Amino acid sequence: MVKDYYGLLKVRRDATQDEVKRAYRRLARELHPDVNPDPHTQERFKEITQAYEVLSDTDKRRMYDMGVDPLAAAGAGGAGPFGPGFNPLSDLLDQFFGAAGGAATRGPRSRAQRGRNATIRIELDLAECAFGATRELTVDTAVICPTCSGEGTAPGTHPQTCDICGGRGEVSQVTRSFLGQVMMSRVCPGCGGYGTVLARPCPECDGDGRVRTRRTIKVRIPAGVEDGTHIQLAGEGEVGPGGGPPGDLFLEIAQRPHPIFERQGDDLHCTVTIPMAAAALGATLTVDSLDGPAEIDIRPGTQSGQVIPLYGLGVRHLDGGGRGDLVIHVTVETPTKLDPEQERLLRELANLRGEEAPPGKFAPGQQGFFSRLRDAFNGR
C-alpha cells in the first residue's frame, strides 16, 4: 500500500512547497533523535523524512499523486532496461513538445535536497568488539541554519517568484523545423530552475539554508562487530542544501590487533607452550580469556598441536544468540640445554622406555625422515 505522506506531514494534498517545507521542519525539530531518542520517535522521524523527500520534489510528488510511491518504485529497480523512472521516449517528447497543450512537465525543482552521507572510522579493542561499547563521537557536519530555519532568506523575507519563468523553473522557445513548430524547454537562467529567487539571502548561511558546526553524538556499538563492519545511523548525516533532510552516518569498525588472541569469526585462538614434563605427566594451567583467568587441564601424554576448546568464551554473536569458543593450541617445549644430572636422568628414562638409540643411527625397525619420504612417493 502507498503510504499517506500528506498525513505524515499533516498537510493538505494541495499544500504548496513552502507549506510542506514548514511542516517538515516543525516535525523534524520535535522528532529528531538528538531531541527525542525514543525508538518509536526515531521511526516516525524516518517516515516524515521519506514523506518530505517525495513531496518536496515536483516529479516525485506528481508520481505519488498518481498512486505510485516513487521510493518503493526506486527500491524495486524500476521498470525497463534503463533503470527506475527513465523513459527515453517520454523524456524526448517532453523536451520537444511538452505535455498536452504544450505545458511544461517538469516544473520547478526544490531547493531542499537530501544531505550527503558521511563515514567515520572507529578503532575498537577486541573486548569492545566482543561485548559492545558506547562511544561519544564529535562530528563536523552541516545543520539547519538557525537564522533562516533553512529557507535561505534574510529574517522577515521569503523567496520571491521568478519574473522570467513565472515560477515554472524553465522557459520555452518555439522554433520552426522540418517537423513544423517545435517547442524546446530549458532551465530558467534567472532562477536556475527553482522557480523562485532569493532577493535577500540569509546573511549567516548566504542562502544555502545550512551552516557547519561541530556536535557530539553518543552511539552504541553492538556486541559481535568485527573489522570492516559498517553500522548505519539513519538521519545522523549532514543536512542537505536548502534545509533538506539529513543523510545517514556510517560507522566503519576497525579492530585493533590483540597481543594474545587471534580472532577467526566469533572464535578466539591462542597458543600455550608447556614443558615436556607437564605434557607427559599432565597439569592444570591458568590461561587468560576475555572474561578473566580460566583453568585448563593438560592431560598426561599431551602432544604438540593438540587443541583444548573452552566453549562459550569467545566473541558474542552479532545476532545476540550466544558466543563463540576460545580454542587453546598446545605447543610442547623440548629442552635445548641440559646439565649433566638432567641428561643422566633423561638417558635413564630412555633406557627404561627402550628409547635409547646409538648416536647418529636409528633403532632397528625405525626409518629416517628421507626413507619415509621415499616410501611415500613409491607408494609403500
Q: Kind of pairing, strands 249-255 and 230-233? A: antiparallel
CB atoms within 10 A of CB 313: 20
> Which cell goes with 229?
563492519
Q: How far is 183 from 169, CA to CA, in rounded Å?
A: 16
Q: How far is 205 from 69, CA to CA, in rounded Å?
A: 33
Residue 316, pLDDT score? 94
Of the two residues 74 and 164, the one the predictor is more confident about is 164
pTM of the complete model = 0.59
Quote the radius of gyration of the chain (alpha carbons, Å): 36
Residue 178, pLDDT score? 55
Average pLDDT of the residues in 198-206: 92
Question: Vertex 353, ends 351 and 358: CA angle to 5°?
Answer: 45
Flag the least confident range among 26-40, 84-98, 277-291, 334-348.
84-98
What are the chain's domains? 1-77 (1.10.287.110), 94-257 (2.60.260.20), 262-378 (2.60.260.20)
What phi and psi, each to the nearest 5 degrees, are found at residue 60?
-65, -40
Flag the least confident range among 28-32, 156-160, 181-185.
181-185
> Does residue 215 have a pLDDT over 50?
yes
Residue 176, pLDDT score? 67
> Does residue 99 have a pLDDT over 50?
no
Please report the DSSP string for 302-344 in residue order.
--TT-EEEETT-SPBPTTSS-B--EEEEEEEEPPS---HHHHH
Query: By the 8 A CB rule, do 219 and 234 touch?
Result: no
> Does residue 372 have a pLDDT over 50?
no
Average pLDDT of the residues in 151-170: 90
> Does residue 358 have a pLDDT over 70?
no
> Does residue 89 have a pLDDT over 70?
no
> Does residue 363 have a pLDDT over 80?
no
What phi and psi, each to the nearest 5 degrees, are found at residue 134?
-120, 130
Residue 77, pLDDT score? 43
At 62 the three-state DSSP class reads: helix
Question: Vertex 148, ends 144 and 153: CA angle to 5°?
Answer: 125
